[in-house]
Amino acid sequence: MPAAFARLSPLLSLTLVAAPAGAEEYLWLQAVAQGPVSGKLVTWLEVQQRLSANTDVTILRPALGVQLNPAVQLMAGYQYQHNDRETAPDTTEHRLWQQALIRLAGKPGKAVLLSRTRLEQRFVEGESDEGVRLRQWLRGQLWLDKRWSLIAAGEGFIGLEDTSWGQQEGLEQTRLFAGAGYALTPRLTLEAGLQDQRLIRPGPDRTNRVVNIALFYRIG
């Protein structure tokens, strides 16, 4: 068991509420630096660690984009992901991805509804197949005051083709998140909450209960 998971495992007991039999508990830790670089050029720099009793996943996700207007952002990036598992061989995945982030309604600081559509091209080391996947994400955020906000989000993952290494065509995963945000400073925000991650498989689906803690720093 990873040491960090062992130390923080009491937090994961929260995820057992209404969890189905066989659900696995995870802790996801995320740090992001984002914002304008020059003019309309924006960046996203992310480090993420996903921990469970049997798995340790490391993710690095850098990207560059263009802020077309206050409500529309286009971005493209790369993702490195290493999966260290006790019950299966380790794997390393590389992804190229492109996305459109659109503010559908509202105003930051009050209430907003965001949409993110992302296309991924996935490559697993040692495998010849490329997996193309579409992801659709919606997020609502309601500010209670200048520091506190409530957040709800959902995302669906749709495989556009089958691969020999496990990606399946059609809906293969959903995520539902509920939590809160707190502005530590005008540039630094902490978000935390619970996430239901459902992995859709030919046999029984698998559900992960996730404690998600993220730190966002706005640059520029």
Domain ranges of the chain: 3-218
Query: Identity (one letter) of the amino acid at 133?
Result: R
Inter-residue contact 207 to 197 (CB < 8 Å): yes
Q: Which residues contact 216 (CB under 8 A, 6 or more apart)?
A: 32, 34, 188, 189, 190, 191
Of 51-55, 69-73, 86-90, 151-155, which gets the smallest average pLDDT?
A: 86-90
Residue-wise DSSP of 145-166: SSSEEEEEEEEEEEESS--TTS
What pLDDT was estimated at residue 12? 43
Inter-residue contact 103 to 120 (CB < 8 Å): no
22 torsion bin: left (phi>0), alpha (psi -120 to 50), beta (else) = left
DSSP state of 6: H
Does the structure show a pLDDT above 80 at 169?
Answer: yes
Q: Which of 78, 68, 50 is nearest to 214 (CA)?
A: 50
**The model scores a pTM over 0.75:** yes
Of 2-16, 30-44, 53-67, 196-210, which gets the smallest average pLDDT?
A: 2-16
CATH code of the domain occupying 3-218: 2.40.160.40
Q: Are strands 41-51 and 148-159 parallel, antiparallel or unpaired?
A: unpaired
Q: Take residue 49 and report the two structure tokens written for it.
A: 């660690």
Inter-residue contact 13 to 197 (CB < 8 Å): no
Query: Identity (one letter) of the amino acid at 70?
Result: P
What pLDDT was estimated at residue 150? 98
What pLDDT was estimated at residue 17? 45
Inter-residue contact 64 to 43 (CB < 8 Å): yes
User: Is the alpha carbon torsion for 146, 150, 151, 152 positive or negative?
Assistant: negative
